Amino acid sequence: MIFYEKEKIKTMLKRFLSYYRPHRLIFTLDMVASLLVALVGIVYPMITREMINRFTSEDFVLEEEYRTIIIAGVVLLLLYIVRMLLNFFIQYYGHVMGVRMQAQMRSDMFRHLEKLPYSFYDSHETGKIMSRMTSDLMDISELAHHGPENILISSISVIVSFVYLSTINLWLTLIIFACVPFLLLIALFLRKRMRNAFRESRESTAKINASLESSISGIRVTKAFTNADKEEEKFQEGNGMFVSARRKAYKAMGQFHSMTAFITDIFNVIIIIAGGLFLYRGGIQLGDYSAFVVSVGLFISPVMTLINFMEQYQNGVTGFERFVEIMDETPEEDTPGAVDIGEVEGDIELRHVSYRYDESNPVLCDLSLHVKKGQTYALVGPSGGGKTTICHLIPHFYDCVEGEIFIDGKELHTVTMASVRRNIGIVQQDIYLFNASIRDNILYGRLDATEEEVIEAAKRANIHDYIMTLEEGYDTVIGERGVRLSGGQKQRLSIARVFLKNPPILILDEATSALDNTTEILIQQALDELCKGRTTIVVAHRLSTIKNADEIAVIADGRILEQGNHETLMERGGMYAELYSLQFRMNNGD
């Protein structure tokens, strides 16, 4: 277990240090500047010791030492000016380095998130992911900058002050430094408690962000159902967890700082007693004793810096652990040897496919179906039957547990996922539009399209005329998730996006189910135009919209119960006929 922990720490440290590699020059200069700052700090007690010893000597003559005093003051002033410039360099360029490292980590995380499968986002909330990309990386950045700097300056200061104090009085120095092990023991004892407390605090912050993101995104639903009190209750629950977690963290931090501060206070007691006894017995001169007092202050200061650094260290390490958790999530990858599928004709076949989201939740059970090139294939049946899962398996968003899926006779694992998805267009009920212009949202279908192609796609989707009524036309920004558009307008915009992509395979997953009848007719016209010449898989709950499909499969409990065209299924008098008759009666007011 101990070996495992050591290896884990070693691996984490190696990964963390790898982010310094592109900034070797600025890091080296930062460390050199930090070293010089530490060395300059010891000059003052050295000058103080020399001057006090001279002033208290029997042969001291003020007129003869006047020149020495002036020179010492000027030298000290010049050194402090140099230290000021070095401190500016450390603060500015050190933070710049930290920010650049933070930006690199954020870029790496974003690229990794783009590669993660659908299943990852099924179990991770957006707000929590955002928390890891913002506050966690900020703490890592602070550690990246201040960590090496504080360790170097403090370590050099401790070592130099020890050597210097030893030249003044070795025994008094050893007595003072005997307190150091107590500080180390306390730090080691309380470090684990602080680490766990700050990790819990990070998790509670992520939960608040997730709750806040959810509440803000759903504010219109909240207002519509006048459930502000409920959202307040949910937020306060998370807020209470945050307060509790921070209280634990601050308790651990308070114990750490109070105990370590007590030990450092003992230094002053030891200096007064031990130093006074040495001075009383003539074991140390007044100037040496004064220099010792000043130098011990220089020793205590870096020790306290290291102690206070523990909090920043815990924040940074906890943040980096959470960063690594995301980076260690397995991305979706092509099977070794997978090739580009090339131009697709559109023949799709599922052979004995089974899928489940978890062991206790089977969705598809030994399902087989064949969609021929250019055919319109409809999937109908009760909710939860597996229709949408089929739509997700064909573009390889999920990997089937058993069975195989073929496109143009090529099994999905033998071709790259990007090439498959390039040949598939998807129109869903839940449309996601970006907070950008209408043009940019349409262009998302094919980024290199011309303005003429964008307009043509909009015309074919029956949205161009509406766009031209807007003051800014195609440059109109539609707001977050297209909030400034109606449901039908958003749907037609998504259809225009697919027109621009012009894929040979089309998946329509209940694309008109949330629309009123009038809007549905307009959308259906656009969809009919879109389906021409393409292999189309349609998921629909309004059976009137798929009457003309070449093939209709009734799916329930992950299995195909019956299959055929509209006339065949109606003659059979099975589930399809029952569902169609029921909808027909409802539409006619029976």
DSSP string, 129-160: HHHIIIIIHHHHHHHHHHHHHHHHHHHHHHHH
Q: Contacts for 242-250 with beta carbons within 8 Å, 24 or more apart?
A: 242/201, 242/204, 242/205, 242/207, 242/208, 244/204, 245/197, 245/200, 245/201, 245/203, 245/204, 246/201, 246/204, 248/197, 248/200, 248/201, 249/194, 249/197, 249/198, 249/200, 249/201
- pLDDT value at position 322? 84
The alpha carbon of residue 477 and the mean position of all alpha carbons in its chain are separated, in whole angstroms, by 27
Q: What CATH number has the domain bearing residue 491?
A: 3.40.50.300
Say if CB 264 and CB 270 are below 8 A apart.
no
Local confidence pLDDT in tens for the 590 residues of the chain: 444 456 767 788 888 888 888 888 988 898 888 888 877 877 777 776 666 666 666 555 555 566 777 777 788 888 888 888 988 988 888 888 888 888 888 888 888 888 888 888 877 777 778 878 877 888 888 888 778 878 877 777 778 778 877 877 788 778 777 777 776 677 667 766 776 777 677 677 767 766 666 666 666 556 555 667 777 777 777 777 777 777 877 777 777 777 767 776 777 777 777 777 877 777 777 667 776 776 676 677 777 777 667 767 777 888 888 888 888 888 888 899 899 999 888 899 999 999 987 777 788 899 999 999 989 899 988 888 888 889 899 989 888 889 999 999 999 999 999 899 889 888 877 777 887 888 988 888 888 889 999 998 888 888 888 889 888 889 988 877 667 777 778 888 888 888 888 889 988 887 665 555 666 666 777 777 777 888 989 888 777 778 888 899 999 888 999 999 889 888 888 888 888 888 766 555 54
- pLDDT value at position 416? 92
Q: Report yes or no on 3 lying in a domain.
A: no
Q: Are residues 364 and 275 in the same domain?
A: no
Q: Are residues 353 and 233 in the same domain?
A: no
- pLDDT value at position 369? 92
Q: Are residues 308 and 417 in the same domain?
A: no
Q: Report yes or no on 4 lying in a domain.
A: no
Say if CB 376 and CB 506 are below 8 A apart.
no
Q: Are residues 99 and 42 in the same domain?
A: yes
Provide the domain limits for residue 142: 11-327
Q: Are residues 210 and 249 in the same domain?
A: yes
Q: Are residues 315 and 436 in the same domain?
A: no
404 forms beta bridges with: 351
- pLDDT value at position 350? 93
- pLDDT value at position 360? 72
Q: Are residues 229 and 377 in the same domain?
A: no
Q: Report yes or no on 238 lying in a domain.
A: yes
Q: Report yes or no on 338 lying in a domain.
A: no
Q: Are residues 320 and 248 in the same domain?
A: yes
At residue 589, the 3 state secondary structure works out as coil
- pLDDT value at position 254? 78
**Cα distance between residue 199 and residue 317, in whole Å:** 9
Q: Are residues 297 and 398 in the same domain?
A: no
- pLDDT value at position 587? 58
Q: Report yes or no on 100 lying in a domain.
A: yes
pTM: 0.73
At residue 480, the 3 state secondary structure works out as helix
Q: Are residues 273 and 162 in the same domain?
A: yes
- pLDDT value at position 411? 93
Q: Are residues 221 and 358 in the same domain?
A: no
Q: Report yes or no on 476 lying in a domain.
A: yes
Which of these three, 264, 298, 327, is where a domain ends? 327
Eight-state DSSP code of residue 373 = T
In our burial notation (b when 16+ CB lie closer than 10 A, e otherwise), range 476-501 reads eebeeebeebebbbbbbbbbbbbbbb
- pLDDT value at position 318? 80
Q: Are residues 263 and 379 in the same domain?
A: no
Q: How many separate domains does the chain show?
A: 2
**Cα distance between residue 502 and residue 517, in whole Å:** 27
Q: What CATH number has the domain bearing residue 40?
A: 1.20.1560.10
At residue 406, the 3 state secondary structure works out as strand
What string of H, E and C letters represents the secondary structure of 45-92?
A: HHHHHHHHHHHCCCCCCHHHHHHHHHHHHHHHHHHHHHHHHHHHHHHH
Q: Report yes or no on 523 lying in a domain.
A: yes
What lies within 8 Å, CB to CB, of 278 at 6+ separation is 169, 171, 172, 284, 289
- pLDDT value at position 522? 67
Q: Report yes or no on 336 lying in a domain.
A: no
Which element (helix H / strand E) includes 292? helix 286-327
